[in-house]
Amino acid sequence: MSDIVNVDYSTKIPNNVNLTEDRQVLRALEGWHPGYIDWWKTMGPNGFQEALVYLRTAVSVDPKGWAKFDYVKMPDYRWGILLAPHEEGRTIPFGQHYGKPAWQEVPGEYRAMLRRLVVIQGDTEPASVEQQRHLGKTAPSLYDMRNVFQVNVEEGRHLWAMVYILQKYFGRDGREEAEQLLQRRSGDPDKPRMLGAFNEATPDWLSFHMFTFFTDRDGKMQLESLAQSGFDPLSRTCRFMLTEEAHHMFVGETGIGRTVQRTCEAMKAAGVQDPGDIDKVRGLGVIDLPTMQKKLNLHYSLSLDLFGSEVSTNAANAFNASLKGRFQETKIEDDHKLENSTYPVLKLVDGEIKRVDEPALTAINMRLRDDYTADCQRGLDRWNKIIDRVGVSFRFQLPHVAFHRQIGEFRDVTASPSGELVDAATWERQKDKWLPSKDDGDFIQSLMRQVVEPGKFASWIAPPRVGIDNKPGDFEYVKLAA
């Protein structure tokens, strides 16, 4: 028996699921491996496949000390199958099957629904790698370059995690889905990725940090609710993925925090009082706060769409079937079946935005989205503290949930960031004040210059307070190929 905490690195595919004794699945994964490497080399970080990157690799699933740091060429990264340890006697924490022993095999009646959930989650993982593949060329420092590559290899591992579930538990259909995951491409009109936000471009580093803050956080919420699943292998897979996901959100939150810090300090030093004096602020070689607010409006609204419709039968079915639960389900005090409860949902009623009580079961997406919003707000509060501390008068705000939506209750209306419904003409007139304009994009692009001298940073971003793995400020996080 292999140890479930330590990872077996003797096989081609590192794992803690005893693959050496699971020949059929091992063969399926080994068959999939060359296609994955091919995908990584063509769609992974563009131009850095030979660089030595100071990466962490998971060596155990023990929350204390699961990672080991070393220089690795990305195509040699040991992508593995890692599940959180099996919990003896785990019972299903919600839905119709509440209280029964967690399933170790796919329940036949839910096969299609479960496969769909795994495929949708799986599709987002390679998509973000594709979206971020050009960023190395404009990295503001070696520290930041290393961070995007770390996120990328881990998203690659998350793809492996979902492919393992597909190949082990879904037979032939699972193998076909695994193949398809390597075929779709972010932003490709003919074979796009499955969800909207994962087909958008990530043109610059501010977008990347916003993406890892807002969109990876949607990922966190989805993983949190799948980690509650009655299907135990999925739950265990997602629980380990969440430990990696935490770093992605750290990269986003601190990336924006450092950008904010740098802008405020530059304004202070130059005696610029008004954050809205965009030309003056931009003249300092930093990104003005109102433009950051517009980027935030964009990424938050795109990420809200990932939660699906506020009122959803699919979500109700997945909850009822005990496949996908709520955020921190086991800490919630109720019947965990939602038989008679309601949940307040913002809806459009006779042309007005109103709060309406809906059956809690169909409002599952809304509830998860509310938990997400609260989690986002905490990050904004910390950025606002940075602004306060430097002594600039400006506050970031999350836009209203009706703002700039493509999915759900507000998809057919236009609303301002404060949630006021406006007509199409007003939207057209105002939208460049609410969302990044072409000019904003061009300006940000003009700052995106690669900085590769160890310990040096581009003009628009402050250095981090501490290094990765506690390395000193001038540590060479990436050794570029000669």
Nearer to Fe ion, 97 or 220 (CB): 220
At closest approach, how far in Å is the CB of 305 from Fe ion? 17
Residue 253 in the binding site for Fe ion (CB under 5 A): no
Report d(CA 34, CA 182) in Å as an integer.
11
Q: What does 344-409 look like in DSSP terms, one character per residue?
A: EEEEEETTEEEEEEEETTTTHHHHHHHHHHHHHHHHHHHHHHHHHHHT------PPPTTTT-SSST
Give the residue carrying structure tokens 């995690």: 161
Polymer length in residues for the chain: 482
Residue 193 in the binding site for Fe ion (CB under 5 A): no
Residue 217 in the binding site for Fe ion (CB under 5 A): no
Number of residues that bind Fe ion (CB under 5 A): 6
Report d(CA 256, CA 253) in Å as an integer.
5
At closest approach, how far in Å is the CB of 375 from Fe ion? 14
Nearer to Fe ion, 206 or 386 (CB): 206
**Interactions with Fe ion, residue window 77-136 (CB under 5 A):** 125
Four-residue CA torsion sign, 413, 304, 174, 188: positive
Stretch that binds Fe ion, among 71-79, 164-172, 211-219, 308-316 (CB under 5 A): 211-219
CA 460 to chain centre: 24
Stretch that binds Fe ion, among 153-161, 340-348, 394-402, 442-450 (CB under 5 A): 153-161
Choice from 248, 258, 262, 405 touching Fe ion (CB under 5 A): 248
Nearer to Fe ion, 110 or 211 (CB): 211
Report d(CA 125, CA 132) in Å as an integer.
11
Stretch that binds Fe ion, among 147-155, 181-189, 194-202, 428-436 (CB under 5 A): 147-155
**Interactions with Fe ion, residue window 296-315 (CB under 5 A):** none
Nearer to Fe ion, 218 or 310 (CB): 218
At closest approach, how far in Å is the CB of 221 from Fe ion? 12
**Interactions with Fe ion, residue window 379-418 (CB under 5 A):** none
Report d(CA 265, CA 259) in Å as an integer.
10
Residue 158 in the binding site for Fe ion (CB under 5 A): yes
Report d(CA 162, CA 179) in Å as an integer.
12
Nearer to Fe ion, 158 or 326 (CB): 158
SS3 66: coil
Query: Which of 82, 104, 103 is closest to 18 using CA atoms?
Result: 82
Residue 216 in the binding site for Fe ion (CB under 5 A): yes
Query: Which of 146, 391, 375 is closest to 261 using CA atoms?
Result: 391
Report d(CA 148, CA 35) in Å as an integer.
23
At closest approach, how far in Å is the CB of 204 from Fe ion? 19
Nearer to Fe ion, 219 or 325 (CB): 219
Indicate the residue type of 63.
P
Nearer to Fe ion, 177 or 310 (CB): 177
Nearer to Fe ion, 92 or 119 (CB): 119
For 425-449, b where at least 16 C-beta lie within 10 A, e where not — what string?
eeeeeebeebbbeeebbebbeebbe
Stretch that binds Fe ion, among 31-39, 105-113, 242-250, 315-323 (CB under 5 A): 242-250
Q: Which two tokens stand for residue 116?
A: 């769909």
At closest approach, how far in Å is the CB of 419 from Fe ion? 29
Report d(CA 114, CA 321) in Å as an integer.
10
At closest approach, how far in Å is the CB of 246 from Fe ion? 9
At closest approach, how far in Å is the CB of 480 from Fe ion? 25
At closest approach, how far in Å is the CB of 158 from Fe ion? 4
At closest approach, how far in Å is the CB of 109 from Fe ion? 29
Contact 404, 418 (CB under 8 A): no
Nearer to Fe ion, 305 or 310 (CB): 305
Stretch that binds Fe ion, among 24-32, 102-110, 148-156, 459-467 (CB under 5 A): 148-156
Stretch that binds Fe ion, among 103-111, 134-142, 245-253, 422-430 (CB under 5 A): 245-253
At closest approach, how far in Å is the CB of 193 from Fe ion? 13
Nearer to Fe ion, 125 or 409 (CB): 125
At closest approach, how far in Å is the CB of 251 from Fe ion? 9
For 119-128, b where at least 16 C-beta lie within 10 A, e where not — what string?
bebbbbbbbb
Report d(CA 187, CA 311) in Å as an integer.
28
At closest approach, how far in Å is the CB of 177 from Fe ion? 17
Stretch that binds Fe ion, among 7-15, 59-67, 151-159, 378-386 (CB under 5 A): 151-159
Contact 83, 105 (CB under 8 A): no
The residues of the shown chain that bind Fe ion, judged by CB under 5 A, are 125, 155, 158, 216, 245, 248
